[in-house]
Structure 1
């Protein structure tokens, strides 16, 4: 090889090395950007306030057009948890001025010694604002990270007592009337106990109401929806799944939840047609906090606002046949399980 050839070969190697370094640098920057988005930006600054029309069987005239706000899965106590977004969601709920706020469980997470007090203080402003607030418990409120984890009755009992002290009603398999602020007949909230904790007794809760009484059914784990008798839960609200928490683009299954575990009902949004008994319909909220990984990607924290209407005939299912409601939608604002 003569000098010219050696010089040309050296230039080619330098160019290829430069391309490799540039590509590697671009990959690193992209990964850092994705981590920053998933850990810092999306879960801590971008609250998805979703407004939905919800039909309720036998809804009293005084409740027509009223709104309910649903929030869930605060997960206070997890490493790098999401207290700031909880505060934002609570402030937004107060600003919206609903007839009631419903909290679908998992207030706490893990063994952080101050997690109960922090969780209570985060939601206390709802009661202080005079908004009737009702809650049920999820698996983490009993310290159940896994189905076979040891049940912590003490944590759940202390949390329930503290929430009741600040004016938030905790329901376990019981029905409670929500008085209309316009006067007239009440709308009932039926709170179902934690599925994983062995406290889910929906039929006992529903037996406290005549069949024709209007109600909203509140549960943490959507698995319990399948146990509701026909026409018992025209509006059933739940959480637990975090919407999958990490939605992976360009895959057949876009939800981390789908990939890592068997689906219980659906990831989020309205249930698909055919799920549950006739006349029942479920909505699954994506929650606010985290499980396992302190990140969200294409799955923003959610506050759901339901505008109530009286159902005419059978309550229609939302979404086409086979649509699980996994699309996170367009926001109005900027083997452990969940």
Structure 2
């Protein structure tokens, strides 16, 4: 533990040392250097204080999210500064070593002076994550995108050709701080006029009380002709905080399950529901959370009991790691799985139709958008809300509209 703490302190000191070198290269004004040092000490002190006083019985709050946001805004640019100047130091050391051994008398010191243009370049590069993170915390977190996706199935029942589903996921209502933006998003959901709406879990961060100010807002989601259905996400189990008693934890879990009904969604708990249209029907299957690295409460066998392999099935499972681990090998053949959970890490680069990247892809094979294996599909929603980092950079909050089509995928 002590060795880890010492390593952490060493890294912080190294980052601060190099960041100060940039400032000193750019200006020699004494009061500016002192002001920079005082500000850096104050920010580090605030962040350390907040982390040391994190209350496990409360969990994430607006203050903890702001602290994490401040940590990223301050240190990601500084890490980039450190990287650039460290490369420059390698050059300076190499250059000084060569000059020393070849007897170059032009240089009065072993290490050449720092070059101002390198510091200017480092600052320009650091401005990219700095401005991006600020944007994500102010505008990006509510920059809702409606993403429309057609999915083709040869065995889709005829009556469901063209059937539309709106999917939302990962609301994390405890993170919201702008009612106008949430109402705008609800209006976007209603404007889609889909046949059915599905909510794939995480209505709160931890506590059922987080949703209480937003119940009437989410009740504004209009009735859909073929229903409003939901499943639980990993945060809905209240397992990321310390509860005073097991009874308190169980009461909160029951209250969270009740929340879905309070906003007029039918919660599917390892069960299925037939959706009838004309003389055709499809099965909507909903499992509790199942994740490779999280709670495994989902039971595919229980949820699909009585269904035939030939039945057309749409599965709601919050965590996309469930797809490769169990769903693809299941003998019942689930045609389309809808998930969320990853948020696309709320950070990445995305040019729709051309390029998509996020660090999330190093953790989840299916992390955002549509994926296919042997004619079976999973769609991973990027999330409606935000968690931990109070913003979104590049990977925007999503409202998905999926259209089922009969036939083969032409792509």
Q: TM-score range by the shorter chain?
A: 0.7 to 0.9
**Residue 358 of structure 2 is aligned to residue 255 of structure 1:** yes
Aligned to 1:237: 338
**Residue 351 of structure 2 is aligned to residue 246 of structure 1:** no
Cα pair 1:56 1:235 within 8 Å, conserved: no
**Residue 210 of structure 2 is aligned to residue 93 of structure 1:** no
SS of 1:154 mapped into structure 2: helix
Spell out, residue by residue over 1:248-296, the C-alpha distance to the aligned partner (whole angstroms, 9 max, x if none): 79xxx942334xxx624322112254xxxx4421111100212221121
Aligned to 1:205: 303
User: Does the C-alpha gap of structure 1 residues 56 and 159 become closer, same or farther in structure 2, counting only changes over 3 Å?
Assistant: farther
Q: For the pair shown, which has the larger CA radius of gyration, 1 or 2?
A: 2
Write the mapping of 1:160-171 to structure 2, written as runs, cut at 5 A: 160-171=257-268
Cα pair 1:56 1:215 within 8 Å, conserved: no
SS of 1:292 mapped into structure 2: coil
d(CA) in 1 for partners of 2:297, 2:139: 36
**Residue 283 of structure 2 is aligned to residue 188 of structure 1:** yes
Aligned to 1:268: 368
**Equivalent in 219, 240, 243 of residue 317 of structure 2:** 219
**Equivalent in 136, 146, 168 of residue 38 of structure 1:** 136
Cα pair 1:237 1:282 within 8 Å, conserved: yes
Write the mapping of 1:147-158 to structure 2, written as runs, cut at 5 A: 152-158=249-255
**Structure 1 position 84, deviation (Å):** 5.1
Cα pair 2:195 2:225 within 8 Å, conserved: no
User: Does the C-alpha gap of structure 1 residues 174 and 16 become closer, same or farther in structure 2, counting only changes over 3 Å?
Assistant: closer
* Larger relative contact order (Cα-Cα within 8 Å, sequence gap ≥ 6): 1
Spell out, residue by residue over 1:122-175, the C-alpha distance to the aligned partner (whole angstroms, 9 max, x if none): 3212245767210000011112339xxx98432232122232244310001111
Please, what is the CA RMSD of the aligned residues?
Answer: 3.4
Aligned to 2:210: 115
User: Does the C-alpha gap of structure 1 residues 263 and 100 become closer, same or farther in structure 2, counting only changes over 3 Å?
Assistant: same
d(CA) in 1 for partners of 2:224, 2:281: 21
Cα pair 1:285 1:304 within 8 Å, conserved: yes
**Residue 125 of structure 2 is aligned to residue 125 of structure 1:** no
**Equivalent in 305, 309, 313 of residue 401 of structure 2:** 305
SS of 2:215 mapped into structure 1: helix
- Runs of 5+ consecutive residues of structure 2 not aligned to the other structure: 1-24, 29-115, 351-355
User: Does the C-alpha gap of structure 1 residues 41 and 62 become closer, same or farther in structure 2, counting only changes over 3 Å?
Assistant: same
- Runs of 5+ consecutive residues of structure 1 not aligned to the other structure: 1-14, 319-338
Spell out, residue by residue over 1:273-328, the C-alpha distance to the aligned partner (whole angstroms, 9 max, x if none): 4xxxx44211111002122211211101111111111245xxx698xxxxxxxxxx
User: Does the C-alpha gap of structure 1 residues 57 and 205 become closer, same or farther in structure 2, counting only changes over 3 Å?
Assistant: farther
d(CA) in 1 for partners of 2:397, 2:271: 28
d(CA) in 2 for partners of 1:100, 1:291: 27
Spell out, residue by residue over 1:23-68, the C-alpha distance to the aligned partner (whole angstroms, 9 max, x if none): 7986786555223211112221x22211111134632222111210
Q: Which moved more, 1:210-219 or 1:84-93?
A: 84-93
TM-score, normalising length: structure 1: 0.72
User: Does the C-alpha gap of structure 1 residues 85 and 265 become closer, same or farther in structure 2, counting only changes over 3 Å?
Assistant: farther
d(CA) in 1 for partners of 2:194, 2:313: 17
Aligned to 2:76: none
User: Does the C-alpha gap of structure 1 residues 184 and 210 become closer, same or farther in structure 2, counting only changes over 3 Å?
Assistant: same
d(CA) in 2 for partners of 1:286, 1:238: 9
Cα pair 1:47 1:85 within 8 Å, conserved: no
d(CA) in 2 for partners of 1:29, 1:179: 54
SS of 1:179 mapped into structure 2: strand
Spell out, residue by residue over 1:188-213, the C-alpha distance to the aligned partner (whole angstroms, 9 max, x if none): 21001112333210122122322222
User: Does the C-alpha gap of structure 1 residues 266 and 184 become closer, same or farther in structure 2, counting only changes over 3 Å?
Assistant: same
Cα pair 2:204 2:235 within 8 Å, conserved: yes
